[in-house]
Amino acid sequence: MKLWTVQADDARQQLIKDGMLVGSWDRIDDSMFESAYRWLVKQMIKRGLMDSDKHPPVWAWSTKPEPGTVEEWSAPESKDSFVLMEIEVPDNKVLVTNFDAWHCVLNDGFCSFTDEEMDNYFDRDLYSRQDIEDSWQRIFDLDGCKKAGWGSHHQVVFQQLAAPQLISVCQPGALTTV
């Protein structure tokens, strides 16, 4: 599967130097999101896509970002220089999620597929904690998410990136190959 990942340039350098890039818990933008990332790691472990929770997954996009959008996916307060890497990862090593629905997990909310479900969540508080967490499985139902109006942007996670999987590296902005 051809993918694109936005990474700090030092991550690209690590990939080239060490031959491998793994996620880092230190790079999660906000500690309040760590529980969402750990939930996703558990889902990957259950599916045989990660062997431990030592590292968070590496994130990528299923479509190439448009010129000028790479900066939107990097932390604006960061002093890091970012690059866009075109990569190839075997299909059986990735987990694809709906980008918009993923925000239900990030925000610890119910992932609804209907207006009625959303009304029951906000107005009636009918869902248990387990119901809410069970609803997060929907982020993997790409067709269901699209039909429910969650959009069609897909993000992809995987355990690690090996140097031979790197196709090209581009600078943000014009997305010209380095």
**pLDDT of res. 175:** 47
Residue 143 falls inside a structural domain: no
What pLDDT, in 10s, does the model give residues 23-46? 988 877 667 788 999 999 999 999
- Check which CATH number belongs to the domain holding 74 and give it: 3.20.170
- Confidence band for 1, pLDDT divided at 50, 70 and 90: very high
Q: What does the radius of gyration of the chain's CA atoms come to, in whole angstroms?
A: 17
List Cβ<8 Å contacts ≥24 apart for 7-13.
7/82, 7/83, 7/85, 8/74, 8/78, 8/80, 8/81, 8/82, 8/83, 9/80, 9/81, 9/82, 9/83, 10/80, 12/83, 12/85, 12/169
Residues spanned by the domain of 166: 2-103+151-170
Residue 78 has a pLDDT of: 54
**Residue 65: predicted pLDDT:** 80
Phi, psi of 6 (to 5 degrees): -95, 125
Residue 173's pLDDT is 55
Residue 82 lies in a domain: yes
Examine the pLDDT at 57 and tell me if it is beyond 90: yes
Output the six-digit token pair for 57.
């997954």
Number of folded domains in the chain? 1
Phi, psi (deg, nearest 5) at residue 102: -55, -30
Distances (CA, A) of 161 to 19, 50, 60, 67, 70: 8, 12, 11, 24, 19
- Examine residue 120 and state whether it is found in any structural domain, yes or no: no
Residue 29, in any domain of the structure: yes
Residue 112 included in any domain: no
Q: Which residue has the tokens 């009918």?
A: 126
Inside any domain, residue 124: no
The reply to whether 72 falls in a domain is yes
**What are 117-151's pLDDT values in tens digits?**
988 888 767 888 899 999 999 999 999 999 999 99
Strand arrangement of the beta sheet that strand 166-170 belongs to:
94-98, 154-158, 58-61, 2-8, 82-88, 166-170
Nearest to 104 by CA among 77, 122, 91: 122
60 part of a folded domain: yes
Mean pLDDT check: name the lowest of 2-16, 75-89, 147-161: 75-89
* pLDDT above 80 for 69: no
Q: What is the pLDDT of residues 87-125, one digit of tens each?
A: 999 999 999 999 999 999 999 999 999 999 988 888 767
Structure tokens at 177: 């190959």
